Structure 1
């Protein structure tokens, strides 16, 4: 057991977050995301039973976002013509704002198929049970500054 580490962060996930270097990316994927096929060259971590928001909040408590890029957080864009609502994105904006002074300005969007291509190059993909659609989020790691 460790002090001040969110309990939702498993030893495996903590190890991966620690191993990641500056500019490495991690995807927190919703339950529909093809984590195993996208993660053939990445570490896939199962977090079944958990949703993206609680994992995002816990991760950002220990994970610095990259300050050298405009958008260290990226969401999968809704496909043109798709009428899906994405209220979870507002939750993400609130969580990011708690941990990064740029708030919603740190968040960008990536077209769906481009997101898949980016995910294939991620260091790790976290597979969740999130039911919200278009709930995938990609984080780019920064440096820890004292």
Structure 2
């Protein structure tokens, strides 16, 4: 355990978050997402896991990870098939965590387009989230220099 770092963030996840650069995508996926096969196509090339609900994982990640402010699609959710405007409770919970760090409203991404975005991502974290459509993408932003 380290002070100031949420304990659910394991060493592998911390390594990936630190290694990512501005514009890299991070996927936080539910248990039904084909995370292992998709993760093999990512930059990292291996699956990361945190066995906790999606909103808890997002909260921990966003405590360290800046969301990009230069693009309109920096925060995204997988759309419900056939109901792109439906916002499920898991999506509301994650949006609350994004909003808590002054992040944008998540955009919807069609299911197969989301899979493509995930394959192009830097890394995939599979969560313990069992509710459907608990899949999210976050583009990494920048941390400004200290003033002085």
Answer yes or no: is 1:86 the counterpart of 2:83: no
Which of 94, 97, 105 is equivalent to 1:95?
97
Structure 1 position 2, deviation (Å):
2.2
Normalized against structure 2, the TM-score is what? 0.89
CA distance in 1, matches of 2:100, 2:67: 12
Count residues in correspondence. 141
Give the 4+ runs in structure 1 shifted more than 4 A: none
CA distance in 2, matches of 1:98, 1:137: 16
5 Å-filtered alignment, 1:42-81, equals 42=42, 43=44, 44-47=47-50, 49-80=51-82
Q: Name the CA shift for 1:95/1:85 in 2 (closer, same or farther; >3 Å).
A: closer
Structure 1 position 27, deviation (Å):
0.4
Structure 1 residue aligned with 2:13:
13
Report the aligned-residue RMSD: 1.7
Checking the alignment, whether the CA contact within 8 Å between 2:26 and 2:137 is kept in structure 1 is yes
CA distance in 1, matches of 2:41, 2:75: 21
Deviates more, 1:51-60 or 1:72-81: 72-81
